[in-house]
Chains A and B, each alone.
Chain A
Amino acid sequence: DGGITQSPKYLFRKEGQNVTLSCEQNLNHDAMYWYRQDPGQGLRLIYYSQIVNDFQKGDIAEGYSVSREKKESFPLTVTSAQKNPTAFYLCASRLDGDQPQHFGDGTRLSIL
């Protein structure tokens, strides 16, 4: 089945630690996105990538980093500089142009 896979489903971070969230898609989509969602709030864009080896900052990129070395993979690293990382992280992808996005089922990150 084609889809977007995020792992892990739950993740705990210690103070001062960097953690990496995985996002893999086999939909052959060009564009991939990372969002953060806090309880009762809307989606906020962290980073996005339209093509391999290229990515752009979204609205809340500080404290996060990404890479796009392969079309199917777009990992997100939450660095120790992100002081309030507890949130629901969603990865999405789409064919470019006017197509809708498809989402993975998310990773919940908490601080220990």
Chain B
Amino acid sequence: RKEVEQDPGPFNVPEGATVAFNCTYSNSASQSFFWYRQDCRKEPKLLMSVYSSGNEDGRFTAQLNRASQYISLLIRDSKLSDSATYLCVVNGLSGGYNKLIFGAGTRLAVHP
């Protein structure tokens, strides 16, 4: 089982739609969670951290469910500019070292 799993998509949605991505993680001891956005042929950029109580940043809402070990990202009122790959990232321990583990990403395509 992969440490972080995401549905690869693509999710094809019209402008204005609401879309949700889920991500599951295997290490129950993980403490930090993030969503990154990666545009084609560019570096990943931090979209938002995910807090236990859930958090919102404009049209984006992130939720964490520790009991089921999954994280979600909700995008409301999708824009064309939201088209990108969204990476789920979880903090984990490996060989005694603390490092971030990246999911393979979920691709979103927003069309007019």
What is A's interface to B at a CB cutoff of 8 Å? 31, 33, 35, 41-43, 45, 48, 50, 56, 88, 90, 94, 96-106
Contact = CB atoms under 8 A, between A and B. Distances in A.
A99 B49 CA distance: 9
B87 A98 contact: no
| Chain A interface SS verdict (over half) | strand
Contacts of B32: 98-100
Interface in B47-96: 49, 87, 89, 91, 95
Given A41-B104, A42-B87, A48 B97 contact: yes
Interface of B: 31-32, 34, 36, 41-46, 49, 87, 89, 91, 95, 97-100, 102-105
B97 A102 contact: no
Chain B interface, DSSP helix/strand/loop, else mixed:
strand
7 contacts: A41-B104, A43-B44, A100-B100, A103-B45, A105-B43, A106-B42, A106-B43
A42 B97 contact: no
Given A101-B89, A103-B44, A103-B45, 9 more contacts: A41-B104, A42-B102, A42-B103, A56-B97, A99-B32, A100-B34, A100-B49, A105-B43, A106-B42
